[in-house]
Structure 1
Amino acid sequence: MQNSLNIRLWLRHIVFALPILLIPYAYFAIVEPRTQPDPWTLLHEIVLRYRTNRDKWQPYNMVEELERHGLFQKVGEKTTVPFPFTQSIG
């Protein structure tokens, strides 16, 4: 996932409440949308090369981070068939 700021906010405000909110042995699904490359994704190499915080920014996987902190245990993974979707401008 490229939305590292969103992930950090989500981790900070939601994940620590999960043990309180979920009943014992409940499942919690993490849904990750995967889309066709957009213009920004195609420019990713250039952005990485010229960004000012090159030495500080590191990509990470949200599920792996949650597991590392003992907040999530992955029990499976499912990939659905692709379906067409067009994002509106507004």
Structure 2
Amino acid sequence: MKEVWLPSAAFDEEHAQRLRRAEREARNAARLRSHPHIVTLHDVVIEDQAPWIVMEHVKPANVLFARDGRVLLTDFGIAVKQGDTALTMSGGLMG
């Protein structure tokens, strides 16, 4: 998931317009999912007045290329397996 950064807006209507524009752009990109050189977008979500896009891959810093040609994903920090127990702590900071 990736949060789409929106510049500050002076008025609520201006912010709402930027949200609509970001959502439209993400939905249009999702229509190109069959293109071999464009990452597949699965969804766009508006949460707390911020747009988030759900894509098929993690950010580039989390993708490694091995010498033998393999592509390796390296960050699974929020990944959970169905049935896992919660591992939360009050006041903890990870990352």
* TM-score above 0.5: no
Normalised by the length of structure 2, the TM-score is 0.26
Q: Relative CO higher for 1 or 2, CA cutoff 8 Å, sep ≥ 6?
A: 1
User: Of Structure 1 and Structure 2, which has the larger fraction of its residues in helix?
Assistant: 1
Could you say which structure has the higher strand fraction? Answer: 2
Task: Using structure 1 for the length normalisation, give the TM-score.
Answer: 0.27
Greater Rg over alpha carbons, structure: 2
